[in-house]
Structure 1
């Protein structure tokens, strides 16, 4: 990270939901005020696998639809999990550096587990540390609903110590998993909204939390740069 990057927008890789697409997530995120969007550099990525079943957004958003990985009905067995992470890392190497991740639904489940796996040295070894997460309708691999693929078995064995913002819908079927996920993070910031399984609009109270989080991650980046700069100076003394 260079000293000049503190003045730039946080660069965020955005991971869409199950059987949707990068374009659909971008459309949904643009419900947020321009005052928020202009502070962030958002990059949207299509998952590597075309949808192999019906999408819940058919008739609302046009195809094509994609999925990050597949699971059996009770979420105890997974396919293409390691492959999708390798796909994400390759994109991050070629298009980064990225500061943080934003995920919705399946994308949020995946994003939530990545810092813990990265800390173990199992994934994202070719890219900088994930510095923050924005998780919308998230869930916990190895939690009450989702089993953990072998690669993610210890993703939450220690509290995830990076800034995190969690958007949780009061009428979202994923709400219990989103609540469960909070316990795995150090000092999470939370937006509770009245909507279902979607990217919510931001009312005044939610907007305040989101803006506070953006300020937090900018300050976090500045601290990282100052620490790195100090370490570099000391190493040459």
Structure 2
């Protein structure tokens, strides 16, 4: 996807494995990025330290794409690394990637971390640090082939039992007697992706079992070894789970390319055409009504969770009959707030209600991996930054716009 089209999307830091680099990791993530690219902007971070050798299987394909980097020290490396040095360099690498993306015009919130192997271990450790001190505001982490133990990234504070110092070799095993306490447990949401033929599978399961709260962790397994999944079937399952977790953690989502879905140019519409009358869609596109969608820079989608309303109504029976109406009030407030926020940023928008056409709502649900019990209530198509606008008219006196009692 055009990188410019994602500048307003929520952002995810992507941390590569040991003995590779950000450029290679982007290639390895190309299938996942293609599927996530309409909902999130993926930002690839270069690890701070030069590896003494490439990672497993790197040279067979990426021999000429060095230098190769690592996040944590190898005991064979020369020099003296303190925990403070390593933690500071990891933070600097994140800051460099963040600043570079901001310089490209990106403005989305930093909502998640995605890491592979050594990068997964560091991603989980960053999330754990947030759990302790709240320095960042990530909502989740996606951990591919990650292994423990977690790394303590606040060397100026007492190190919890179960974690290891940032200056420890990345092959250091987990401390003993983890079951005696739970202060080392990561309690923020995580997705763990394990290849069933990965030689390090037992270590990856240890990270999940010993360091992650089972109430907040989701396990996905696939038939593969120590690499990123690329088959559509495997990637689709992972992407669906990321979208699900993003919704559960309150991560905002913007959608680009909605016009292609509505007009049927995108393949996501075609599978749901069967069983629906396409006459209305044909009229819609033939008369040019879809031009506003196709020309839009992106869209903000507003959903209502039907089951949540039903559950609340069942719990509060005396007022349950009002929950549908109250839900509409809340939807209206959300739409006005976001519309106003876009206007304040100099971005024009128009409110649409394509939920009146069942085939279109079904297509959007399929494209965005939205559960069936969600109802599309409306969407704002927004453009790029506005050109110069005429001077705004004077505001009417408040007594002419409000009835004062």
Please tell me the root mean square deviation across aligned C-alpha atoms, in Å: 3.4
State yes or no: 1:140 paired with 2:148: yes
SS at match of 2:31: coil
Q: Give the Å deviation of 1:17.
A: 0.6
In the alignment, what sits opposite 2:244?
A: 215
Greater shift in the superposed pair: 174-183 or 20-29:
174-183
SS at match of 1:221: coil
State yes or no: 1:115 paired with 2:135: no
State the TM-score, normalizing by the size of structure 2. 0.45
State yes or no: 1:173 paired with 2:199: yes
Question: Which of 71, 82, 89 is the matching residue for 1:68?
Answer: 71
Number of equivalenced pairs: 208
Question: Which of 224, 228, 233 is the matching residue for 1:204?
Answer: 233
Greater shift in the superposed pair: 211-220 or 201-210:
201-210
Question: Is the CA contact (8 Å cut-off) linking 1:10 and 1:218 kept in structure 2?
Answer: no
In the alignment, what sits opposite 2:308?
A: none
Give the greater-gyration-radius structure (CA). 2
How far apart are the structure 1 equivalents of 2:166 and 2:51? Answer: 23
Question: Is the CA contact (8 Å cut-off) linking 2:32 and 2:239 kept in structure 1?
Answer: no
Q: Give the Å deviation of 1:142.
A: 5.5
In the alignment, what sits opposite 2:258?
A: none
**Equivalent residue runs for 1:42-53 within 5 Å:** 42-53=42-53
Question: Is the CA contact (8 Å cut-off) linking 2:144 and 2:194 kept in structure 1?
Answer: yes
SS at match of 1:86: helix
Q: Give the Å deviation of 1:209.
A: 4.6
**Equivalent residue runs for 1:177-188 within 5 Å:** 177-183=203-209, 184-185=212-213, 186-188=215-217
How far apart are the structure 1 equivalents of 2:188 and 2:22? Answer: 25
Structure 2: gaps (5+ residues): 1-7, 103-108, 152-161, 169-174, 253-329, 331-405
State the TM-score, normalizing by the size of structure 1. 0.73
Greater shift in the superposed pair: 112-121 or 77-86:
77-86
How far apart are the structure 1 equivalents of 2:218 and 2:36? Answer: 16
SS at match of 1:59: helix
In the alignment, what sits opposite 2:224?
A: 195
In the alignment, what sits opposite 1:231?
A: none
Identify the structure with bigger relative contact order (alpha carbons < 8 Å, sequence gap 6+): 1
In the alignment, what sits opposite 1:59?
A: 60
